[in-house]
Every structure is written in structure tokens, then in C-alpha cells.
Amino acid sequence: MDKMKKGGGGMETTTLAEVPMGERKSWIDVAMIQAGIMICVPSLMLGGMLVEAMSFKNAIISGVIGYVIVAVLFCLMGVIGSDIGRPTCVTAIAGFGRKGTRYIISTLIFISMIGWFAVQTSVCGNAFSSLIKSSAGADFPPQASMAIWGLIMLVTAVYGINALDWLNRISVPALFVITIAGTVLAVNKYGTGNLFNDPDKPGMTIVGGIVLTVSFMAAGCLAASDITRFQRTRRDTVLSSVLGVSPAGILMVVLGAVMTRVAQQYDLTQVFVMVGLPILGMIVLIAATWTTNTTNAYSGGINAVLMLRLADDRRWLATMVSGILGTVCALLGLADHFEAFLYILGDLLLPTMGVILADYWILGRGKPENFHMPQGFNWLGIVSWLAGYAVIRLIPQGIPFAQGILAAGLLYIILTKLIGRPQDKPGYVDAELTDRL
């Protein structure tokens, strides 16, 4: 596919094929999408979790360092996407092979994205019903809220990158202003007496806080290329990743920590209710969940195209199915039991980045012309990935994101030097992806 097609109504139809330069976007547009991913209630919850387990100062240090590391991973993964113009599930093929990526890596990413869509939809639905109850005294079933907002957020994802761009261009600046204003209101109402009332016995170290922050964003780091494939240059990718990810992520940690200390509540939507502004709380809830969750469904749809061997222009259908599955999981209450599993899944996904990064930046010397997509299973990558995960599980007191990524990447480099990658063997032919795997 040599150019990006558009379906009716401007629907995006380029999925696994390379995004042509004429359809790529400015770094500011992509930075807004990245920031929108960061601004959500769970990000505020992260700040609350950190400040409940350590001093206020250490919580902020952990969050800042954690999001700097996240931004670095976004840059490294994202530049691969912008270099070759393809999503993460395609960039993974070099290290895992087409079948290895289709049956293993894309399936895991798909499950992760559907799970997070379910969690976010459940949070939004329950909070929306709670806001209706507290502000208007009316009972609105949480299941109805989940169904309504899950489907609304899904529509944006179905239309693709242009809809994400439009949504975040409007929502992100407003969310920055409203979230800061809400925190100021909370401080004015409750004072700062508890702000530095640190726990007597901290339950987490700074290193532990950094690990929690990076693990929280593991799936987002891995899926970075799904969005950055729309960047024209490496410079644009670095700008959008650094300025989109770090400021928004750090802001959420700080605000979540402040509100947890002064108002005993990390959820800004509830803080607005407590200070007598439930409508603003509702706006924040909807906008913050929408900007994050639509990306979950979008990435889930991209991976479903690879998993199910669909044509590029069927992404809208795959995205719709992904979002509906996530909404159904939320309606069935599975999201309430899913978060622990999603963090385990995050540990499983971390070593994937080690293989992808080693293949592109070390073995391929960071050159797009050295990127190739072998058929079948690349067992060198699969074994390295499993070894990276084993290191994470066997050394629970370590730093999972570092040891998982480094172990997988180093083993992959060693194995390829000893055995050789499929794409380095004589007679290798890199067939087009349009062969439908």
C-alpha cells in the first residue's frame, strides 16, 4: 500500500502498511495524544499510592525519575515506529518472526489493551453514576454508565488517528487547567496541614516507587509506535514523547499526591464534588478517561488486525470488536479482578522491548534499511523474551523493567552472534507484509 487510504467520513485505514509522509502529523499533535494517554484517574491514583507508602518528597522524586525513564523508553520505541512508519506489532516481527509476533506478542498486547479498556470503562461508569447520585440524588445504574461511555469512547478509536488528534487537541489543554484548579480548590478548602505528614514507617523505597511508575506505563511504552508512526522525523518523535509524556505524567503524580494528603482523596472528580463543583468533576472524569481509553481500543484494534490476518482497511472493525469486548468485561465486573493480572502481564511485556530495541538499535545499527521481517518464528527472540521474564520473576527484589529489558536484549544479542538471525542467513528474502502473513 503506497499511500494512506481513507474510508468514508475520513476513517483511517492504514494499519500494518507504512504511513506515507504526506499523512504524517506535527510533533505537537502527537504530543497532545501522548499527554492525553497520561491524564487519567489511574495516573492520579499512582500519585496517591506513592504518597501513602513514602514521604511526600520521595513520592515526587520517584514519580519524576519514573516518568523520565518512561519518556526514554517512549523515545527508543517510538523512533523505530517513525523510522519505518509502522506500529509496534510490525516492529516486533524482526525479533520474533511473523508467526511469533502474531501468535504470541500481538496476542499479549491485545489482551493488555482490552483489559485496560475494561478497567478504565469500569472506573468511568462507576464514578459517573456516583457523581449523578451525589449531585442530583438520582440512581443511575453503573452498568448503564459503562455501556454508554464505553461505546462513546469506542467511536473515537474506530475513526483512528485523526479523531484522536481532534479529541486531544481540545481536551488536553482544558484538562491541564481544570486539574490544577481543582487541586488549588482542595488546598484552599482543607489546608496544607497534612501535606508533609509522612508515614512513620515508609512501606516503599524510592527505587520501589520508580519501579511502580515504570511498570504502570509498561504497555504504553511498548505500544509507542502505534502513535509515533505518524511522525515525520526522529526529532519530532523525541519532542512529542518527551514533552507529551513527562510533563503530563509528572503533573498527575504531583496532583494525586497533593490531593491524597490534603483531601484524603486522589480522585479529582470526587474532590470537585467535595468542594461543591460536581459538574466540573464530571467533565474531568469523562475527558480524562476518554483521552486515555480511546487509545487502548485503538492499539487493541491494530494488534487484532495482525492476529486475525485482516486487511488494513478492516482496522475499524477490529477496533470495534476490541472495544466491545472491553466494555463487556467491564459490565461483567471482570475489571474489578483484572488489574492485578494486568500488572503481571506488564512484567511479561517488558522483556519484549529488550528484544525489539536490541534488534533495531544494536544489531540493525538504528538504520531503517536494516529492518527485516522474517517468516515463521524467530526462536532466538522468543527464548530471549522468556529468559527476560524469568529474570523478573526469579529476582523479585530487583528492578523489573531494567533487568527484564536488559536480560532479554543481551541474551538476544549473544544468541544472534552465535547462531545468526533468520534475516542474516544467505538467500533471505524479506517479503512484503501485504502477503497477509
Residue bearing the bigger pLDDT, 35 or 279 = 35
Residue 12, strand partner residues: 6
C-alpha distances (whole Å) from 356 to each of 220, 351, 428 are 15, 9, 20
**Residue 12 CB contacts under 8 Å (≥ 6 apart), including other chains:** 4, 6, 159, 160, 161, 162, 315, 316
CA distance linking residue 133 with residue 281, whole number of Å: 13
Place of cell 522524586: 61
Query: Residue 4: what pLDDT?
Result: 43
Q: What proportion of the chain, given as a percentage, has pLDDT over 90?
A: 56
Q: Cα 65 to the chain's mean position, in Å?
A: 18
The model scores a pTM over 0.85:
yes
For the CA atoms of 434, 13, 220, 240, what is the dihedral angle to 10 degrees? 110
For residue 430, what pLDDT is reported? 67
Q: 16 pLDDT exceeds 90?
A: yes
User: For 100-120, how does the pLDDT look when each residue is reduced to its tens digit (9 = 90+)?
Assistant: 999 999 999 999 899 889 988
Inter-helix orientation angle 161-190/27-38, to 10° = 50
**What pLDDT, on the 0 to 100 scale, is given for residue 307?**
94
Report helix, strand or coil for 170. Answer: helix
Give the pLDDT confidence of 46-63 residue by residue, as tens digits.
Answer: 888 899 899 999 999 999
What distance in Å separates the CA atoms of residue 249 and residue 172, rounded to the nearest whole number? 12
- Structural domain boundaries of the chain? 21-337
Pick the CATH number of 21-337 from 2.40.50.140, 3.30.930.10, 3.30.110.60, 1.10.4160.10: 1.10.4160.10
Position 201 scores a pLDDT of: 76
How far is the C-alpha of 114 from the C-alpha of 320, rounded, in Å?
Answer: 11
12 three-state secondary structure: strand
Share of the chain above pLDDT 70, in %: 94
